[in-house]
Amino acid sequence: MFRNTRRHAALLLAAAAAAGAGSLHDHGDSAASVTVSASTPLRQLLSTATTGLLFSNPHFAPWQDFLCIGGFPVLNSFVSASVPPTDLSSQGSGGNSDDSRCCPGCLGRNSIAKAAAAVGPAVVNISSMHESHGWVLGKSIGSGTIIDPDGTILTCAHVVADFQSTRAVHKGKVSVSLQDGREFEGVVLNADRHSDIAVVKIKSKTPLPAAKLGSSCELRPGDWVVALGCPHSLQNTVTSGIVSCVDRKSSDLGLGGIRREYLQTDCAINQGNSGGPLVNLDGEIVGVNVMKVMAADGLSFAVPIDSVVKIVEHFKKNGRVIRPWLGVKMLDLNPVVIEQLKERSSSFPDVRNGVLVPMVTPGSPAERAGFAPGDVVVEFDGKPIQSIKEIIDIMGDKVGVPIEVHVKRANNVPVTLTVIPEEADASR
């Protein structure tokens, strides 16, 4: 009787599983769990039947050998490794379940898709023909992003302009294709060689989709980002990755000339992605994709959007980017570097931070002002200094304007200098 009763109960459980879409979970040991979902009438029937079968036999004591799951008792040996039933009510057949994130920047199920959808309509394909005396010398392709409904587009300078000496030569006709299939002829308003940023304008009778600008200063290594563009003219291409470095210096990449900083990511970037947006998970532009390392995978670079905004402001104010030049090499100081320098020379000034000047260019504004190798800049134009970026930001476009600088020299000798920046030679 005991054996038949257990067999009867097992058959009822199996029937319930078949009728109610139950599932058996095997956890790799002798115990398994049965989770049953059944309609209300079937649940009541099973509950009554199994209760009568199981508890009518005294051999099933003690009471703790039973647990109640799905409305009817089940042998404890079946549920010792059980898991709670999954609530499938919030899951749609399309897989678009709740995409809540614990905080901004966290990756949810649809985070990348939503970020791409927010910016995608504003991403354009740009192609330009380079002609000379009626001869077509070449064609370049790239991407861009509409940042204003009036048709203002951000892109890369090398996509729409050639640079002969210090003068930008526009490549001629610029064709702009939108994601919705519309095509326009674009006009290159401005292009800057050193930053590789350009602004193109198209005219439309109706407002155009525009992307929102974010802030690159809030990015951290490891943050998720999305790259959009038209690699090899394949429009509407989306790739994703993380931020690998937030301040990759141009000198790290073997690039000479004026100092620049890039966002390094592992997003897939190819020919034609140049000028396309780098986007955070909130669907905001945080950079403009400009280049990749050809001999490696996962080494892509973008101009930070905070720098791009300043370049656009220069375009609006001066028609070009004005960069002040001092004529010094500079090095950011931190406690670790300072400790090493003091170990090498006991006369190194007692500072907690600042910017070291290891070299001064002969004939430069800095040399004329009295800068010397080994100086540590601690104050610039009345503001305490902790980084090179702060000096660059303070100078802005101040050319020909005297700036007071406080430095510390060996043995803590304080010196006050006055330097007059010159405009940087574009050929440098």
Residue 216 maps to a domain: no
196 is catalytic: yes
Render pLDDT for 54-107 as a digit per residue (tens, 0 to 9): 433 434 333 333 334 344 344 333 333 333 443 433 444 344 555 555 666 577
The number of domains in the chain is: 3
Across the chain, mean pLDDT equals 79
The active-site residue out of 196, 216, 314, 406 is 196
Q: Which of 271, 296, 318 is the last residue of a domain?
A: 318
The active-site residue out of 33, 111, 130, 158 is 158
**Alpha-carbon torsion (54, 55, 60, 64), positive or negative:** positive
Q: Which of 318, 341, 362 is the last residue of a domain?
A: 318
Decide if pLDDT at 30 tops 60: no
The active-site residue out of 274, 306, 307, 406 is 274
Query: Are residues 404 and 385 part of one domain?
Result: yes
pLDDT band at 171 (very low <50, low <70, confident <90, very high): low
Query: Are residues 193 and 239 part of one domain?
Result: no
Query: Are residues 231 and 191 part of one domain?
Result: no
Question: Which of 365 and 66 is assigned the larger pLDDT?
Answer: 365
CATH of the domain at 377: 2.30.42.10
Query: Are residues 376 and 357 part of one domain?
Result: yes
Residue 207 maps to a domain: no
Residue 184 maps to a domain: yes
Q: Is the pTM of this model over 0.85?
A: no
Q: Which of 318, 341, 375 is the last residue of a domain?
A: 318
Range of the domain at 342: 324-423
Q: Please report the pLDDT score of residue 259 as a whole number.
A: 80
152, 315 in Cβ contact below 8 A? no
% of the chain at pLDDT higher than 90: 58
99 is catalytic: no
Q: How far apart are the first and last CA of the chain?
A: 97
Query: Are residues 301 and 260 part of one domain?
Result: yes
Render pLDDT for 256-293 as a digit per residue (tens, 0 to 9): 777 889 999 999 999 999 999 999 999 999 999 999 88
CATH of the domain at 164: 2.40.10.10
